[in-house]
Chains A and B, each alone.
Chain A
């Protein structure tokens, strides 16, 4: 029997997705109609597109609840029970590396960076040199995210206060900005943002929270969060280092 509460349960993610998307629709409508005073082009395509966004968001959230979150936390508990730090750190590294290396946004940024570097005369303007530079940059960022997750997990294990790590890290970033070549700085600051993709964030968050809640003396709220902060900080340092070493 499909009762009312079952129906409500099934439509709830859709309703929430609708609530989350309404502001975008309102903003676009308002500026288009009242400020720019223009009609909405391709109304039909836009409506179909919005339906896709709505359905996709609802499905994604449901998938988080039943798939990504339980998996991430389950593995964190299993690692804590196993008690082997080497495997845990290797897992943390590979998780960071693997989620980043194939990230489309990163591939795009690395390609653009190679063009900038070639125009600036830092590397030769051959296809090969540019491809090498872009590949090197991509690997640097992927390595840096792997390292970031390892550092973040170590922090959870050892109970270091997060703010010292992050504030210290930003001091390092500011200092390195003085020494790093001009051309790399923009890319470096950008790379902090592109590494945290939509699938990495839930997995890494679940890992952190899962670890912090299964280790005695750790508080999931104080120690479980913070991995994302590492993942957006460390790439900046690594990319500036890459820029300094490549010159």
Chain B
């Protein structure tokens, strides 16, 4: 029965989230536009699908992915795992933290960033629209791969930053300078899409796992504050996709020029 309770719980909170939007849509449709919607029942069925689908999706994530993913994040960042060889020798006080002690953490950050972004529903939506609007010039899967790769690279660098304790501002400002430089060189058609990609990645699937990873790292490395370093990872996950999407377009254009 607890499964049913959980579903009802998730469904109700999804409903509460969606209700104000539905009110705005229906209100304007009835009072301002006063226009018949084509296939109205089909559209309503679509809304029901979205609601029920999201509820199932979120509930499944809470059941299957989040608990294990968060547990793994905390285990991978635990000094007992990182320094298991030293611990085996009975040394339990770590003098200096070296960046390459954490190679598995970077690998995990990279792969979980890549994998969760690929499953991000809002990115799927943007990908579908981009493919349709561009007439297939931008493929939905290509865009999503580019964004996921950006998130993966971004969060790995973000983890490196937490481990080494370098300034967040440095990285973000350098990243923005690269973004600006790319903006003036990349094909102009891709730029709005690239800017949008930064916003869609930090959504349902990616954020909880990244937050767990960032918090785990910040809590176990001496001198890091969970409050500051936990959120830093999300900032990386929103800037790097902008670069990778522009780079994707630049590479595609280069291949077209030099391919023949």
A positions within 8 Å CB-CB of B: 20-21, 23-24, 26-28, 30-32, 35-36, 40-41, 45-71, 74-75, 78-79, 82, 87, 91, 94-95, 98-99, 101-105, 116, 162-163, 166-167, 170, 174, 177, 186, 189-190, 192-194, 196-203, 205-206, 209, 213, 220-229, 231-232
Contact = CB atoms under 8 A, between A and B. Distances in A.
B183 A167 contact: yes
Q: Is the interface of A mostly helix, strand, loop or mixed?
A: helix
Contact of B125 (A46, A94, A202): A202
Interface string B141-170: 000000000000000000000000000010
Contacts of A166: 195
B33 to A, nearest CB: 5
B222 interface: no
Nearest to B56: A56
Contacts of A101: 20
Interface of B: 3, 13, 16-21, 23-25, 28-29, 32-33, 35, 37-39, 42-65, 68-69, 72, 75-76, 81, 104, 108, 111-112, 114-116, 118-119, 121-122, 124-126, 128-130, 133-134, 169, 173, 176, 180, 183, 188-189, 191-193, 195-196, 198-200, 202-205, 207, 227-228, 231, 234-235, 238
Contacts of A41: 68
27 contacts: A20-B118, A23-B111, A23-B119, A24-B205, A27-B111, A31-B111, A41-B68, A63-B50, A64-B46, A66-B43, A67-B48, A68-B125, A74-B37, A95-B21, A104-B13, A198-B125, A200-B21, A200-B122, A201-B126, A201-B203, A206-B129, A209-B133, A224-B133, A224-B192, A225-B193, A228-B200, A229-B192
Contact of B49 (A53, A63, A228, A231): A63
Contacts of B55: 56
Q: Is the interface of B mostly helix, strand, loop or mixed?
A: helix
B18 A199 contact: yes
Nearest to A26: B115
Given A62-B49, A74-B38, A103-B17, A48 B58 contact: no
Given A27-B111, A94-B24, A98-B23, A66 B119 contact: no
Contact of B65 (A53, A71, A167): A53
Given A52-B64, A163-B183, A205-B125, 10 more contacts: A24-B205, A32-B68, A56-B57, A59-B52, A63-B45, A69-B128, A193-B238, A225-B193, A227-B196, A229-B195
Given A52-B59, A60-B53, A198 B199 contact: no
Contact of A50 (B17, B60, B112): B60
